Structure 1
Amino acid sequence: MTTTDPAGPGRRPDPPAGRSSRNYPLLTAAAVATQLGSQGALIASAFAVLETGGGAGDVGLVAAARTVPLVLFLLVGGALADRLPRHRVMVAANALNCVSQAAFAALVLTGEPRLWQMMLLSGLGGTGQAFFSPANEGMLMSSVSGEQAGRAFALYRMATHGAGIGGAALGGALIAVTGPGWVLAIDAGAFLVAGTLRAFLDVSHIPARASGGSVIADLRDGWREFTGRSWLWTIVVQFAVVNGVVVATQAVYGPVVAEEELGGPGPWGLALAAFGAGTVVGALVMVRWRPRRPLLAGTLAVFPLALPAVGLAIPLSASGLMAVMFATGLSVEVFGVSWMTMLHQEIPEEKLSRVSSYDMFGSFAMIPVATALAGPAEDAFGRTSALWGCAALVVLLTAAVLLVPDVRNLTRRTERFTGDPAGAPAGSADAEGAVGRAG
């Protein structure tokens, strides 16, 4: 339940300038800190498994162990983030991530970690992420407003992905020199810094929610909001598969190909850094470019997500793989900013975290399946065939989404619509007369 909107029906009041300007840099600085740590930690966890003698299947199991609780708890996390002060949910989640990564680092640094221990700690990290992500999405979207929202999202993503460049490159280099344990320890420290920053977020500008009601009722309300928009649920279904095969490609096949064909973690770290550089360039593009039909532009940009699988299947040289990852990162950013802009424009503020949780739940649902099956798929069909299959799925599903009229026609507006999901139809005189957003 929201308070009466003084700006009139269908609009969310703009956040007061002081609060918005305070929250936005805090959110950005905290995200930069976690990106610096987490990009290196993604590489470190894979090579920690490989150093114990594990193979692609074991790397996939550790990755899946993180994603399973992420998927299981996302919906509850979204409902809680719309009921409790969002910054408290974020700080608690960061604390859990800090402790789990510190324990993972200690195991790697002090002895030979067992597979079940790495899976357990990865699972705790995924649990923290499940509660953090919907709260963070809602907090960010409530901290910006008006025509500058898309630009603000682009700048936020540019800062965080820029941090990812340094994090991935530094992580790969540190793993080669010191091993993965210290990189995991740095990630734990980054979560500590980020949680401290997020403790100072101001939520007083967010309308108070009425007490009472159940989490189940909140989830039903979010489900109605989610399924009432064809562009929303179809793209989420698309990304349920696309994210699965992309993560399997980069988290499982990428480190293995790097180890066997490219000389170890260093080149793979540089490839991930090139991906980060592409996202920065893509964000710069989206600061200037405001496509009138954001979903169409964003969906067209999904096709290049097939390129990393193609590059690993060939396989390309380290420099060729870096070029492919750069192009992919740029494309991801065009989609991500377009997607965030449309969520901000179309979804009521008091339901942002719940709708975001359904978005994330659907988008992440197939990741544990895909990462767990990556090793068996390699054994059954060969790595090259499995990678070509990943690329084909991305292309076919993206082409199918373009058949949805709202994906092609929904336009950018200067004002935020919060009424009936079936309200002003895409392409209507109201929508066309107006000025025409990542995972």
Structure 2
Amino acid sequence: MRSRLRKLIGPTGAAGGPLARNREFRLLWLSFTMSVAGDQIFPVTVTIAALNAGGTASTVGAIFTCRWIALIVFALLGGLWADRLPRRTVMVASLAFQCCVAAVGLSGGVSSWLLALLVFLVGGAEAFHRPAYQACLSSVLTPAQRPAGAALTAVSWRLGAVIGPGLGAYVVTAWSPRIGFLAVLTAYLLGLVLLLPLREPVVTAGRRASAVREIADGLSEVVRRRWVLGIIVAVALQQMFTIAPAQVLLPLVSRETFGGDAAYGTALALLSVGGLAGGLVSMRWKPGRPGLAAVTGLALYGLVPLALACPVSREFVYACYVAVGLGLEIFAVQWVVNLQREIPPERLARVTSVDWLAASVMTPLGLTLTGPAAAAIGRPALLVIGAVAGFAVPMATLLLRGMTRFDSAPETATSLN
């Protein structure tokens, strides 16, 4: 089994060398895996702690709204400082801060307002850590190694999504939320320790300017590449019109149509299983038209509201969630790899933060509006709209120049003339 894994991630081309022998990538990837584990256990711990403190479902929802607020507030600043400072420094500082936040939870007896503050602080640290990770990932890998590196990142994320919540729930219910916070602290601390020996390649930065100017420079990198702007807008709209309604309505469909919560949990688990498969496929597959492959994978999310609008059977719903997970990770890997290829390394974190900001704004808006919209036009109509948007919005981006190949060279040449 070990030899098969090494064979899968080993050959990356003569210029790239085997990924398994890239020491800096191993340290970075293992650190990211530990941070994902902490990120997945943390919300389960906070949820049970809030309920133990007498909170309700509305209390839990309000607490986790603080994460989205933090991402919106800090996303652009996180990208800015990840481009100004060594990315390793930003990640170490973020994980150290998250360790301190988790340590506060160890005190026990935390109130709802304190839990909301902890969620806000962890979300703020996440806004700094993720852009720095994506930019550092690009710097420690050769171009030939980047697809496998991005795919392994996707694998870590999906494994965390499958294992983390269940592990967190077991730890917290078997012992207490304090032990859950201890597990979160341990995961973040391991992620920090793994980063300490990492030797990040030096990225030559341009002349420093004001924060506003440098943020504007990051936005200009997005605007001057139509395919980058098109994908960011498409993902944001899909988050609002397709993904958010599906997230809200899946548990209701599970209870009303299939008689319980089992279909809800199984569908989410199978989404991650499909994503895991998509990450493994992306380690080897190098499509000739990466933009077409990515957009098609993203458009598959339209299957989810379609399945919820017409839930003919559990198996149909489950199959759609597997297909969507597969498509999402194929999209994610192609998106990350081609951003790393096209965006100057000294501006990559800022571009990543713009992507995060757009999604972070539209997701809570979609979650908030789903209930009133379903009451106004009916759940089936809302899900049909979500399905149409899920398919049509990504596919419409194929009309943009350079989209099928994720190539902005023609636009750059035109702008220089």
**TM-score over 0.5 for the alignment?**
yes
Structure 1 residue aligned with 2:24: 23
CA distance in 2, matches of 1:102, 1:313: 44
- Tell me if structure 2 keeps the 8 A contact 1:20–1:143: no
Alignment CA distance shift 1:210-1:349 (3 Å)? closer
- Tell me if structure 1 keeps the 8 A contact 2:78–2:127: yes
Picking from 237, 244, 253, the partner of 1:241 is 237
The answer on 1:218 being equivalent to 2:208 is no
Q: How many residues align?
A: 399
Structure 1 residue aligned with 2:10: none
Alignment CA distance shift 1:173-1:424 (3 Å)? farther
Structure 2 residue aligned with 1:302: 298
Structure 1 range deviating more: 218-227 or 59-68: 59-68
Alignment CA distance shift 1:104-1:401 (3 Å)? farther
Equivalent pairs: percent with the same residue?
30
In the superposition, the TM-score normalised over structure 1's length comes to: 0.78
One-letter amino acid of the structure 2 residue matched with residue 66 of structure 1: R
- Tell me if structure 2 keeps the 8 A contact 1:24–1:143: yes
Structure 1 residue aligned with 2:413: 423
The answer on 1:140 being equivalent to 2:141 is no
CA distance in 2, matches of 1:259, 1:405: 45
* Structure 1 residue 294: Cα displacement: 0.5
Structure 2 residue aligned with 1:74: 75
* Structure 1 residue 135: Cα displacement: 0.8
Picking from 154, 159, 162, the partner of 2:159 is 162
- Tell me if structure 2 keeps the 8 A contact 1:62–1:119: yes
Structure 1 residue aligned with 2:148: 151
Alignment CA distance shift 1:84-1:102 (3 Å)? same
* Structure 1 residue 34: Cα displacement: 2.4
CA distance in 2, matches of 1:282, 1:139: 23
The answer on 1:193 being equivalent to 2:194 is no
How do residues 353-364 of structure 1 correspond to structure 2 at under 5 angstroms? 353-364=349-360
Alignment CA distance shift 1:69-1:278 (3 Å)? same
**CA RMSD of superposed structures (Å):** 3.6
* Structure 1 residue 171: Cα displacement: 4.0
Structure 1 residue aligned with 2:283: 287
Structure 1 range deviating more: 283-292 or 184-193: 184-193
One-letter amino acid of the structure 2 residue matched with residue 77 of structure 1: G
One-letter amino acid of the structure 2 residue matched with residue 61 of structure 1: A
Q: Deviations over 1:114-165 (max 9, x none)?
A: 3x44433222121111111111110011111133321232233224423432
Structure 2 residue aligned with 1:62: 63
Task: Give the unaligned 5+ runs of structure 2.
Answer: 1-14
CA distance in 2, matches of 1:160, 1:237: 23
- Tell me if structure 1 keeps the 8 A contact 2:40–2:164: yes
* Structure 1 residue 305: Cα displacement: 1.4
One-letter amino acid of the structure 2 residue matched with residue 54 of structure 1: T
Structure 1 range deviating more: 14-23 or 375-384: 14-23
CA distance in 2, matches of 1:334, 1:317: 26
One-letter amino acid of the structure 2 residue matched with residue 199 of structure 1: L
Structure 2 residue aligned with 1:3: none
CA distance in 2, matches of 1:181, 1:386: 41
Alignment CA distance shift 1:86-1:409 (3 Å)? closer
Picking from 408, 419, 427, the partner of 2:404 is 408
Structure 2 residue aligned with 1:97: 98
Structure richer in helix, relative to its length: 2
Alignment CA distance shift 1:105-1:47 (3 Å)? same
Structure 2 residue aligned with 1:209: 205
One-letter amino acid of the structure 1 residue matched with residue 88 of structure 2: H
- Tell me if structure 1 keeps the 8 A contact 2:147–2:334: yes
CA distance in 1, matches of 2:294, 2:316: 25
- Tell me if structure 2 keeps the 8 A contact 1:169–1:269: no
In the superposition, the TM-score normalised over structure 2's length comes to: 0.81
Q: Deviations over 1:13-61 (max 9, x none)?
A: x999999922211111112222233334445556666775634x55543
